[in-house]
Amino acid sequence: MSRYAIFLGAGASAASGVPLQRDLLATFYGRRAGRQPLESFARGPALFFKLVFGIDVARSEQLPRFPSFEEALGIIDLSLARGEALRGLPLRSLDPSVPSLATIRTDLVLVMADAVRVATPETTPLRQLVDALRVIDKLKETVFLTTNYDTLVDIAIEDSFAASEDAGVESAVDYGFSGPASGAVGSGA
């Protein structure tokens, strides 16, 4: 049973150097401004930003104009839910040179993941917190609730368990559904 609960908001990840969700896209494309070619997973979202928002990702002076990650994802999700193409971006595409909205959505998530990956240092305050809880033998009694889009706390817990006597546990993180994570940290078992 969990005796302690730690609620994590955006500040927990920002303290580790991870961009806030409103800055993710500008951070990702800002590192690449003026340099071509983009990674293949970044090209579809770049076309989306050009057609929908008039943003050329190769021009660094336009980077502050980016929508937030949630805004961009919301527009794509709304188009997909309604079954509507968006500014020349089809729902489905048989032409590999024209990305579909579903492909752009997937690639947008990869852009976000890469922005987080690059910005995350080796040791984070969240990792230090998890390690401190393990040292005082409180980690197994603690549940973490997070509103963050990243997995920094998940990684900190997994790494901490991998370095401990519980290394045989398949997953130390319980995402709230039955399966291999049952009985892990925060599951109440």
Contacts of 78 (CB under 8 A, 6+ apart): none
Instruction: Select from 109, 108, 120 the least CA-distant residue to 19.
Output: 120
SS3 of residue 78 by DSSP: helix
Measured between alpha carbons, how far apart are the two ends of the chain, in Å?
Answer: 6
- At residue 48, the pLDDT reads 95
Read off the pLDDT of each residue in 108-122 and give the average, rounded to a whole number: 88
Report the predicted TM-score, pTM, of the whole model to 2 decimal places: 0.74
The pLDDT-based confidence of 174 (bands split at 50, 70, 90) is low
Q: Give 141-155 pLDDT, tens digit per residue.
A: 898 888 887 788 888
Helical H runs in 60-167?
69-82, 101-119, 125-135, 152-162
* pLDDT averaged over every residue in the chain: 82
pLDDT tens-digit series, residues 74-100: 999 999 999 999 988 998 888 888 899
Task: Please give the Cα distance from 108 to 42 (Å, whole number).
Answer: 7
Contact criterion met (CB below 8 Å) for 102 and 111: no
